[in-house]
Amino acid sequence: MPFERWWRRLGVDPLLSVAALLLVLISLAALRSASATLNPALLAKQATWVALGVAACVLVTRYSYTRWIDTSVLLYVAVLGLLLVVEVAGTVRLGAARWITIFGFSIQPSELTKLATASCLARYLATQPAPLPLRGVLISGVLAGLPAGIIFLQPDLGTSSVVFVVWLGAVWAAGMSRKHLVMIAAGLSVLLPIGWHALREYQRMRLLVFLNPHQDPLGAGYTIIQSQIAIGSGRLLGRGWMAGTQNQLSFLPERHSDFLYSVIGEEWGFLGSSAVIALFLCLLWRATAIAQASLDPRGRVLAMGLAAWIGYQAIVNMGMVMGLLPVVGVPLPLVSYGGSAMLMAWISVGLLNSIARIGMRP
């Protein structure tokens, strides 16, 4: 068919790419509404990052993912250096030092960490035998744990958990046994009480408020309560674009970033919210299919790590804005406002396209 030949000539996976593009279009439309009474300039900034992201996606798609993996060690070391710079001279926002400013642009190195860690894990784990030995599990755990630990100290519990999930996806694709998976689960259950005491006070409050938002309705629980009101008021078809009261009257904090999905739920209703979920399911289906069909172990591990990253963040973000999960401050991939996150998400789509173009079974 001419349509299929056109997509193949571009070298992209059609369902994966269309799903990503539609999510971005929904994002820009929702951000236009969310920024109207907040800062209209946010839309232009995000559109610029989207354009840069799409351009990067095209370049990465045409570039062999194997070369990207070959340079992953350098990328990994550079990202560790940037994370250490953040610890020393990072810009503090919302109580955490996660950003550094370079030539007037704010960059969030923790977003780069997800991609760097997934690439470095793919390079290492592809050299290990199957099933993956305990030594391989432990060494890969150290590779992921080092940046995750630095990010946790910023403090950023949400992003550090994303890096952990990227590692889980990678070792699973590399052939980790169920025995080792049970050992990891048991180890986590033992570390949970210790982890509770390692959390900052506001992080503990977020977890407690998740169980009962009305415990602190004007403080830590305020955003969750307003988000639930916004989503619930959308009903089936929503209040209409730029007509959501929680959004337009500024009752909903962080509505342009982590809680943009709440704006979609309020203004586009259940149908609009479900459309976003359907697009993520389509994107994840193609990402996991690309991983399973890859002939190259590096491509399989990388694709599964990227799929775990995108899927986990989507589930956590949509779950937290609906009050189903604790608020841990992770953006919705390809939707939430944020330059570094948008750029890294598009590069990930480009890498998945590259794996599909080069390394998949016919």
Please state, as a whole number, how many other Cβ atoms lie within 10 Å of the Cβ of residue 47. 15
Q: Is residue 1 part of a domain?
A: no
Q: Is the pLDDT of residue 41 over 60?
A: yes
Residue 214: predicted pLDDT: 64
Residue 212: predicted pLDDT: 62
- Mean pLDDT, residues 145-174: 89
Q: Is residue 348 part of a domain?
A: yes
Q: Is residue 9 part of a domain?
A: no
Q: Is the pLDDT of residue 1 over 50?
A: no
Domain span at 216: 14-358
Please state, as a whole number, how many other Cβ atoms lie within 10 Å of the Cβ of residue 286. 24
| 173-177, 308-312, 331-335: range with lowest mean pLDDT | 173-177
Which of the four pLDDT bands, split at 50, 70 and 90, describes residue 332? Answer: very high
83: left (phi over 0), alpha (psi -120 to 50) or beta: alpha
Residue 263: predicted pLDDT: 93
High-pLDDT (> 90) share of the chain, %: 45
pTM of the entire predicted model: 0.89
Residue 96: predicted pLDDT: 54
Q: Is the pLDDT of residue 196 over 70?
A: no
Q: Is the pLDDT of residue 2 over 60?
A: no
Which of the four pLDDT bands, split at 50, 70 and 90, describes residue 199? Answer: low
Residue 62: predicted pLDDT: 87
- Mean pLDDT, residues 157-184: 88
Residue 4: predicted pLDDT: 47
Q: Compute, in degrees rounded to 10, the torsion defined by CA atoms 138, 142, 145, 149.
A: 130
Which of the four pLDDT bands, split at 50, 70 and 90, describes residue 250? Answer: confident
Q: How many domains does the chain have?
A: 1
Residue 3: predicted pLDDT: 45
Q: Closest by alpha carbon to 283, among 62, 18, 3, 12?
A: 18
DSSP state of 322: T
High-pLDDT (> 70) share of the chain, %: 83
Q: Is residue 8 part of a domain?
A: no
Decide: 351 and 337 in contact? Cβ < 8 Å: no
The answer for residues whose C-beta is within 8 angstroms of residue 251's C-beta and 6 or more apart is: 226, 229, 230, 245
| 8-12, 29-33, 51-55, 274-278: range with lowest mean pLDDT | 8-12
Selected residue with higher pLDDT from 219 and 341: 341
Residue 289: predicted pLDDT: 93
Q: Is residue 256 part of a domain?
A: yes
Q: What is the mean pLDDT of the chain?
A: 84
Selected residue with higher pLDDT from 91 and 146: 146
Q: Is residue 6 part of a domain?
A: no
Residue 131: predicted pLDDT: 87
Q: Is the pLDDT of residue 220 over 70?
A: no
Q: Is residue 299 part of a domain?
A: yes
Q: Is the pLDDT of residue 97 over 80?
A: no
Which of the four pLDDT bands, split at 50, 70 and 90, describes residue 323? Answer: confident
Residue 283: predicted pLDDT: 95
148: left (phi over 0), alpha (psi -120 to 50) or beta: alpha
Strand order across the 96-102 sheet:
91-93, 96-102, 105-107
